[in-house]
Structure 1
Amino acid sequence: MKNKACILLVIIFCVNIGYAQTDNIQTKVDKYIKWMTRKKNPNIWGASAKLYALGTNASPVIKRKYRTLPVVAQLGCLKALVSLGELDYAQQKLLVILKERNPRDIKTMATGMLEVIGDFELEEDLLEILDKTFDPYVKIAIAKLTWQISRAPDAIKSLKGFLKVDNFRIQAAAAIALGEVGNINVALPILNKLKEQPTSQGRMAQILLDHDAQINHYETLLSSQATKPKTEVKNDKLKYPLVDEVIKKINEYHVEGDKFSKEKLVNSAVDGIVSGTDVHSAFWTKKEWDDFVRTAINEEYVGIGVYVGEQDGQFTIISPVYSGPAYKAGIRSMDKILEVNGWSTRDKTMDDIIKKIKGDQGTSVELKVYRKGWSKARDIEVNREKIRVPSLFSQMLPGNIGYVKLTQFGRKGTADMEKALLQLEKQNMEAFILDLRGNGGGWLQVAVDIIDKFVAGKKLVVYSEGRHPEKGKRYNYYSTNNTHPNFPMVVLVDESSASASEVVSGALKHYKRAQIIGQRTFGKGSVQEPIPLDTRSGARLKLTIALYYLPDGSCIHNIMDTEGKIVERKGVVPDIEVNYNDFESWKNEEFTRLEESKAFENYLDKHYKNNKKLFHKLADNDQLNHDLYPGFNEWHKSLKTKASKNDTRYWLRLKTRARVSDDRGKQYACDYLEDPMLQRGIWELCKKIKIDAEKIDEYNIFAEKWKK
């Protein structure tokens, strides 16, 4: 009994120590922040250093205080957080400071801090801020930073532009910035004039000029070495003679050898070298990098907002983006585009047509559109606008079960998820399904932010680690504070759930915050970084520099042999394994045949308009009953198909849901009636919130299956 009492006292003593340490940190953070906010002689940077000295336990306390502080004190806190390794958090807050209306010195200091972080992912945001900034000194600072992290040509162009203004102070600031980023030649006249001034700018100009003189000196020495007799450099003529010989032989002997440029063949050689490392590393030419930035990183683009394809040899709208200008102008699924501004699309390639439709924001394009049932084609004018590609779809399911299908971890994924959760909570959500099936990943920080919404307290959710002492050093990602109720939760995954999807599902599984249902995930837990190349301006070497590890130290990345074959499957193993329904190959062929014969289109053309309310109901839930469709048996008989009535009902309902989506201007988020993984998730959550799925009309059709 005495031993138990002693143990209890020790536990209480340790807990009290923990509380005391927390209170002590809280007190010190309050004290140092007060130094930053006092009216006379605020000690911003001294207080920042003190905050850093408190260690990582101070980070969540600083973050809680951050919002209430004046912007100068926020800068001091961010400097401390940068030193504490909270780079992603600090980066986002510094961008906010640059975007908001703040004084010049504040924005300049924020830019300086971003230089310390130096993340190439900032390029898109910085270029946008650069375009909207009018203060020349702030613009110079941002342009300099943008060039340092991404080598964006617009940044140098902006800096050079300031050399031509009438104000010498602005010229001087731009000249120094150009000198600091290695473009000194164009700024030499101004730097030579500036060096005579007894100011800090004058001293900096002199330093830059001295540095440039040293570089010129050494380049002259190297040049003189290169002009020595050939016998001295004979053995250094070719470091890799095989590559040069192969290129020469291709140009000489290949049937089309005269068409291959040396650059193209060298690029192919480099592709081969990089692909020999792992399947995720790659060499990107400048064009490939620019295309990646434009399409993969950006979730917005300028256009009319349509998904397109070819059907019956015609350019066809597969589906409009329902928030986009094309839908608002009257464009609908399966519309045929016959002309673009009077230019015929007949016998034209998809790429050529898309180029004609694209254009600058604020302009319009006139499309000649034909829709089945119209007596003739119609001209529809559509404005070109910024199109936001949806990153998620949400829906409240029967039984107050919220559902979110997250398609990618895009930059705005955190905000989109927060908005969706708040909307579902307003509708009295009692349980939640996060669907990550088919989600190939995206931004890691977005994954961490989403985990943070569900995991309480400061917990390690993932870490990355590699071999390089800097690029590969271990970096921990923590949750800070969950912002949503602790409702029962299910995460759906499949074999296509990869990278950030695996981080989210793996962390939520580790902390038992969610039940994982579906298939073992893809097994892609590697970190790639595009590295600029000194020898090829604008190109990038995308290399795997580290691996992701879950909180328990397990790595989700598949282990492969030298030929890229998986020798040990990793990924995230679900708590409950559920597979998709088997679909026989002949059914795919039969569906294609019926689709090409316009069987579904013709049926809907005949019945949809006069039974619109019924079809809306059937699209939501047809109870798997083909008899609910008007004239179904007669229609099915006319198809002369070996597919069952249930097969054709399923295919017909897919087409019906597309038409209903056009009517409503909203895409369906899910289909619980036909989706076994989703059904199992619903069944498990119904048990947790103590409701009987069999007594819910929409669920009773499948509930019996999972009851067994």
Structure 2
Amino acid sequence: MQEENKEHREEKDSGRYFKIKKFPLIMGGFLLIFLTAGITTVALTFGDEKVQSIAPSQYPQFEKLYSTYDTIKKEYYQEVDDEKLVNGAIAGMLEGLEDPYSTYMDQEEAKSFNESISSSFEGIGAEIQEQDGKIMVVSPIKGSPAEKAGVKPNDIITSVDGKSIEGLSSTEAVLKIRGEKGTKVELTISREGEAKPVSITIVRDTIPVETVYSEMLDDGIAKIAVTSFSEHTVDELNTALDEMSKKDMKGLILDLRGNPGGLLPEAIKMASIFVPKGEIVLQIEDRNGNKEIHKSENNGEFKLPVVVLIDDGSASASEIVAAAVSESANIPLIGVKSFGKGTVQNAQDFKDGSNFKFTSYKWLTPEGNWIHKKGIKPDIEVKLPDYASLPYISPDEALKVSDASAEVKAAENMLKELGYNPGTVDTVFDEQTKAAVEKFQQDHKLKVTGILEDKTTVTLMQELRDKILKNDTQVKRAVKELKKEMK
């Protein structure tokens, strides 16, 4: 790992040299450290002349590879593209690791990946990862089209625009999901607890990488939500803290729910605001058990009571912060168990713009705990209301009298929670359900049809979302705990 007070350093690795850029990151639920090759990595550019100069006696394990390449070049029934063969060989080598976080990205995929850490990009706004051959949502970005459409952490995306994406890498899936602002993409999602897949149509938009949102609650309690860790996140947080201080902040709720990760230096700097100077923030462990310890850079600037909110969409960098403040600063965690991502990947760029990432380390909490696939359990477990987990209903689908489906049941549950009586909550759209829809349409100045579709569906889901925000049980418990400390 790089030293924080240097721009970069040279690191020797099996005869290969790399410059480590000073922006390691945890993205999409995994930690990355970008590497730029100072010299071509000979063992990975087979197909290049340098590879041909490697003596088989020195690398006998490559004999089968060379033999296969030569046979295909000479005897395959049609001309082959050398670049495709090389790319496929690299991808295959990484697939052989049987690690979903070790993948090869061609130029287009690498470009898309790099765009995802820029100031903005166009897409739906959701972090995804490949897990056991399936594409899983880590977390939708706050305020994104994905979040507004009802995409949730742990959703499994099975198809994009009617085409299966099973077996694709996360980068391949991103290329299919991402697109120009204003265009639509249809996702088919498998969700735990749902009997059949859910179809969600999302209009892509520009996704700004704005990461900190603050508001002052009652009694001098500030709530600051951090949605990811980008280059200026800690600066944004410090600005928010200053603004809240001017409003006489007496306590802080740091909301890391739905935060899928980001830049490692930002996570360390953020944790350092709350962890006493010299205390451990995290540990990095290599394959031989050697550990590198990162300690707080705290200057003692924050002294008010703090609680931290986490959920199943809190991953990687947000888990590092949560574990650090919990174990090294005794700050309570409230919510539900976090995602659980505890491995570290290095991403190396090739000269042609492609790259690959591979798992190289574990990260451990200050006390040496490995949270991978386990997550972090909150000190105080608080779940959101059941209606916060109601499934998405597609506005493109018209629900009307005599229809029977899981979507009808979800709609009836929504209507009931918003104070409209749909009768018995079941899967059947009957006359009483129609009457409830008509009343909802009338109250919201929508065209009264008794049919749930288009603007009616969108408004219904937005109203429910607003109710979830107003009745946030996790925030309410955080306020209660803070008041104990503020007395």
- Band the TM-score falls in, shorter-chain normalisation: 0.5 to 0.7
1:682 to 1:674, Cα distance in 2 relative to 1, 3 A:
same
1:474 to 1:248, Cα distance in 2 relative to 1, 3 A:
same
Q: Within 2, Cα distance between the matches of 1:240 and 1:391? A: 46
Q: Within 2, Cα distance between the matches of 1:288 and 1:590? A: 29
Residue of 370, 381, 394 corresponding to 1:577: 381
**Is the contact made by 2:312 and 2:337 (CA closer than 8 Å) also made in structure 1?**
yes
Q: Which residue of 2 aligns with 1:676?
A: 473
SS of 2:386's partner is coil
**Is the contact made by 2:309 and 2:334 (CA closer than 8 Å) also made in structure 1?**
yes
SS of 1:579's partner is coil
**Is the contact made by 2:220 and 2:248 (CA closer than 8 Å) also made in structure 1?**
yes
**Is the contact made by 2:277 and 2:300 (CA closer than 8 Å) also made in structure 1?**
no
Q: Within 2, Cα distance between the matches of 1:418 and 1:512? A: 19
- Write 1 or 2 for the structure with the bigger share of strand: 2
Q: Which residue of 1 aligns with 2:106?
A: 285
Q: Which residue of 2 aligns with 1:632?
A: 443
Q: Which residue of 1 aligns with 2:365?
A: 550
Q: Which residue of 2 aligns with 1:394?
A: 214
1:243 to 1:639, Cα distance in 2 relative to 1, 3 A:
farther
Residue of 218, 226, 231 corresponding to 1:411: 231
Residue of 252, 265, 268 corresponding to 1:445: 265
Gaps of 5+ in 2: 12-17, 25-34, 41-48, 126-142, 146-175, 184-205, 401-416, 421-438
1:526 to 1:637, Cα distance in 2 relative to 1, 3 A:
same
Q: Percent identity?
A: 28
Residue of 378, 389, 392 corresponding to 1:588: 392
Which structure has the larger Rg? Answer: 1
Q: Within 2, Cα distance between the matches of 1:496 and 1:246? A: 48
SS of 1:589's partner is coil
Residue identity in the other structure for 1:496: G
Q: Which residue of 2 aligns with 1:464?
A: 284
**Is the contact made by 1:673 and 1:679 (CA closer than 8 Å) also made in structure 2?**
no
1:631 to 1:236, Cα distance in 2 relative to 1, 3 A:
closer
Q: How many residues get paired?
A: 355
Q: Within 2, Cα distance between the matches of 1:121 and 1:590? A: 44
Q: Which residue of 1 aligns with 2:167?
A: none
Q: Which residue of 1 aligns with 2:3?
A: 87
Residue of 242, 258, 262 corresponding to 1:422: 242
Q: Which residue of 2 aligns with 1:55?
A: none
1:244 to 1:474, Cα distance in 2 relative to 1, 3 A:
same
Q: Which residue of 2 aligns with 1:485?
A: 302
Superposition TM-score, scaled by structure 1 size = 0.42
Runs of 4+ in 1 over 6 A off after TM superposition: 305-308, 349-352, 623-626, 633-637
Cα offset, 1:689, TM superposition:
2.9
Cα offset, 1:86, TM superposition:
8.2
1:501 to 1:307, Cα distance in 2 relative to 1, 3 A:
closer
1:593 to 1:477, Cα distance in 2 relative to 1, 3 A:
same
SS of 2:303's partner is coil
Cα offset, 1:625, TM superposition:
6.9
Cα offset, 1:546, TM superposition:
0.8
1:540 to 1:586, Cα distance in 2 relative to 1, 3 A:
closer
SS of 1:453's partner is helix
Q: Within 2, Cα distance between the matches of 1:530 and 1:296? A: 14
Residue of 120, 127, 140 corresponding to 2:20: 120
Q: Which residue of 2 aligns with 1:240?
A: 65
- Write 1 or 2 for the structure with the bigger share of helix: 1
Q: Within 2, Cα distance between the matches of 1:440 and 1:413? A: 14
Q: Which residue of 2 aligns with 1:513?
A: 330
1:115 to 1:675, Cα distance in 2 relative to 1, 3 A:
same
Higher RCO structure, 1 or 2 (CA under 8 Å, sep 6+): 2
Cα offset, 1:286, TM superposition:
4.0
SS of 1:150's partner is strand
Cα offset, 1:594, TM superposition:
6.7
Q: Within 2, Cα distance between the matches of 1:518 and 1:355? A: 35
Cα offset, 1:511, TM superposition:
2.8
SS of 1:393's partner is strand
The RMSD of aligned alpha carbons is 5.0
1:652 to 1:518, Cα distance in 2 relative to 1, 3 A:
closer
